[in-house]
Each structure stands twice: as structure tokens, then as C-alpha cells.
Amino acid sequence: MTVIDVTEATFQQEVVERSRQVPVVVDFWAEWCGPCRQLTPALEAAANRRDGSVVLAKVDTDANQQLAAAFRIQGIPAVKAFKDGQIVDEFVGAKPPTEVERFFDGLVPSEVDQLVAAGDEASLRRALELEPARTDAAAALAQLLHARGDRDGALALAEDLPGFQAEGLVSRIRLADDDAYADAFAALDAGDAERGVDLLLELLAGAGDDQDDVRRIIVAVLDTLGVEHPFARDARRRLATALY
């Protein structure tokens, strides 16, 4: 059961003890509270989307005044999240659905988050069916399609996506048939990012109309390595020198 009503008599078992097996979000509310009626649908939707991996427990503060006092509820709606018998997060007042989702994400990933984390093609496609706006799922799927040789499919997904990875992939597809970049791309595909970037940096000055595409590919690789990677730091300096 995803949404349950809890009283003073059942709180210990249904919230505190249950939270040792699954996170429990407690909604302290009252019938007369307008903001409570605004928040409740978002809470229930977030709990239902997680298909039993988190429970929403609703406490009517008018009917359970001792419980409200014990948790020092001074304003409602008041939401408290329990894990392992302890409060781990909370907020007061109505929140928009996006913030409610982030609150729940801090306790347990959504189904879409789990699908994106799985990372296989079927999971990524299902994630996009459930949430078409998930650019991280689209970008990951585009990379998978490109890796298996489906350039058209990868391009269709990536060309309108934001971010360095998508831009780099689109540029990589544009230059895929140019033999000048074959060795660099082969190194990147073999997992040798440093050699691949070194070769692309050597080609950058003479790339002509391809220069911006080469830059995007380099930036995407360096973004994957991270800002603290020693090679990435040096390569960014060399890239700036080559361009400016």
C-alpha cells in the first residue's frame, strides 16, 4: 500500500517501524487547510510513481493532536520523511510538484531514475516513454545507438539536446566518414581518451570548416574526464591556446 492513514495508535508501527524497511513520508494535514489540499495530490502522485518503494502516511492533526504536539507541528501542511526510525528530511508549506519530486528523489529514486541508471537500451527507451523530456535518457540512448552503428537514430535523438555530450556526439557523427579523424576516433572508441584528444588537438588548427565540430568533440571528452583530471586540465589549456 502506497498511501495510508495513520493515527496516534498506529504511528509507531506504521511509520517508525515500517521506515526500517521502506522510507515513509508523513503528511501532517487538516481538512480546513487549503494549502494541504494543494499539496496532497503531488505527494500522492510522487508516492504512487515509486510503486511501493516509499510509503505516504497521512496524519490528520485535528484528530491526532497529541501526535502533532509531539512533533512540534506549528504550521501545516508539514511533511517529514522517516528512514530507519528517524526523521531524515522535512519541509513545511505547499510545494510545487517538481520540488515534491526532488524531495522524494532524496529518499528513493523514481522509476524513471532507476531506468536511466540501468542504462541498457530497453530501460532507456522505457524511461523516455514515461518521461519524454528526460534529456539524460535521450543522450545516453543516443550514445548507445552510435556505438552500435546506428548514426541516423543517434543523430535524431542528439541533435536537439543541450549539453556538451550531445553536441560532441552530433559533431562526431558529422565527421564520421572523414578519414582525417579516423585514428582519433579509433582511439576514443578504444577507451584511450588522452590519445584521441591529443590527435584531435593536432588536427584542430588545420580543420578549416570542421574546426567547431572538432572543438565540440574535444570538449565532450574532457567533460567526461571531469574538471579535476590532470590531463583534462592541461588539454583545456592547449585547446584555448589553439583557438585563441
Residues serving a catalytic function are 33, 36
At residue 57, what is the residue type?
A: A
Grid coordinates representing 110 are 523514481
CA distance 186 to 197: 11
- DSSP for 75-129, written as a single string: SSSEEEEEETTEEEEEEES---HHHHHHHHHTTS--HHHHHHHH-SHHHHHHHHH
- Count of C-beta atoms within a 10 Å radius of residue 7: 12
**Cα-atom radius of gyration of the chain, to the nearest Å?**
25
Nearest to 22 by CA among 83, 81, 79, 80: 83
- Count of C-beta atoms within a 10 Å radius of residue 237: 10
